[in-house]
Amino acid sequence: MFRTIVGHRRILTLLSRAIAHETLPPALLFAGAAGVGKRRTADAVARALNCLTPVANATLPPLHEHDEPLVLERDACGTCAACRRIERSVHPDVIVIEPGDTGSIKIEPVRDVIDRAAYRPFEARRRVVIFDQAEAMQPPAQSALLKTLEEPP
Residue 38 near residue 8, CB atoms below 8 Å:
no
What's the pLDDT tens digit per position in 96-143? 999 989 999 999 999 999 998 888 999 999 999 999 999 999 999 999
Q: Which fold has domain 92-153?
A: Rossmann fold (3.40.50)
Domains 1-89 and 92-153 share a fold: yes
Checking if the pLDDT of 62 tops 80, the result is: no
- What distance in Å separates the CA atoms of residue 43 and residue 95, rounded to the nearest whole number? 10
Is 3.40.50.12780 the CATH classification of the domain at 1-89?
no
Count Cβ atoms within 10 A of the Cβ of residue 56 and give its class: 0-12 exposed, 13-18 middle, 19 or more buried.
exposed
What's the pLDDT tens digit per position in 25-57? 989 999 989 889 999 999 999 999 999 999 998
Residues 6+ apart with CB under 8 A from 145: 110, 114, 131, 137
The residue extents of the domains of the chain are 1-89, 92-153
